[in-house]
């Protein structure tokens, strides 16, 4: 059994049937945000940003769809590699920055233990 299967898209019909208004709204928003039509940011860059987000959220379906769309929009392998490294740096940066909180909470625990 695989958690990510290309055939899983068939289950979108279940989501659409169970929550039709929300489904329709989400699809319209997705189309508007990603269409590139009349937008300031060129479609290729929109797709590369989508790849970066998909990599950080680890959505296998989005990684596939937006990588293929970026390629179709003329993105090069080098641009995809750079996008990947930017996403990795930001993901690592988020962990580093959240490490500040971990250190703060540890220090707070140390202080609380010293008072007891």
Q: Domains in the chain, ordered, with CATH?
A: 41-115 (1.20.1290)
pLDDT at res. 8 = 85
**Burial state string for 55-80 with b = 16 or more CB within 10 A and e = fewer than 16:** beeeeeeebebbbebbbeeebeeebb
Please give the residue that has the higher pLDDT: either 14 or 8. 14
On average, the pLDDT of the chain sits at 92
Closest CA to 83 of 113, 107, 63, 109: 63
Query: DSSP E strands: which ranges in 4-69?
Result: none
pLDDT at res. 36 = 67
pLDDT digits (tens, 9 = 90+) for 88-98: 999 999 999 99
What is the pTM assigned to this prediction?
0.80
């Amino acid at each position: 059994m695989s958690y990510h299967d290309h055939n899983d898209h068939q289950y979108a019909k279940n989501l659409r049937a169970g929550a039709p208004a929300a489904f329709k709204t989400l699809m319209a928003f997705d189309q508007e945000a990603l269409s590139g039509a009349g937008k300031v940011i060129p479609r290729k860059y929109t797709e590369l940003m989508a790849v970066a987000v998909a990599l950080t959220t680890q959505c296998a379906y989005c990684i596939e769809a937006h990588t293929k769309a970026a390629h179709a929009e003329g993105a090069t392998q080098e641009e995809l590699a750079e996008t990947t490294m930017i996403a990795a740096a930001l993901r690592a940066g988020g962990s580093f920055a959240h490490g500040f909180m971990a250190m703060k909470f540890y220090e707070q625990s140390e202080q609380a233990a010293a008072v007891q």
